[in-house]
Amino acid sequence: MEKKKISIDKSACIGCGCCAGTYPEDIAIGADGLAESVTGVAEEDVASVCPVGAISVEE
Ligand code: SF4
């Protein structure tokens, strides 16, 4: 699947770890316990793993 540029809204993130667990090469859980982008990109369906809609994918 094609990777696309993503952004993560830390104010919405609840730190569940679903995104980092599913896409560990592109997303990590930071020292603050919230998700952060490692590469700036991720598989285009990444937003679907977040239960609170904190990940947006640029078209
Ligand atoms: S899936 Fe969403 S709420 Fe869970 S850690 Fe990732 S960005 Fe945060």
- Pick the residue whose CA is nearest to atom 1 on ligand 1: 50
Could you tell me if the CB of 8 is within 6 A of ligand 1? yes
Q: What pLDDT score was predicted for residue 49?
A: 98
Give yes or no for residue 53 having a pLDDT over 90: yes
Domain boundaries, the chain: 3-57
- Model confidence over 1-51: pLDDT tens digits? 789 999 999 999 999 999 999 999 999 999 999 999 999 999 999 999 999
Q: What pLDDT score was predicted for residue 51?
A: 98
How many whole angstroms separate alpha carbon 18 and alpha carbon 22? 6
Ligand 1 geometric centre to CA of 42 (Å): 13
Q: Which residues contact 12 (CB under 8 A, 6 or more apart)?
A: 52, 53, 54
Ligand 1 geometric centre to CA of 6 (Å): 13
Strands 41-43 and 35-37: unpaired
Q: What pLDDT score was predicted for residue 59?
A: 81
- Identify the CATH class of 3-57: alpha beta
Please state the pTM of the whole predicted model: 0.94
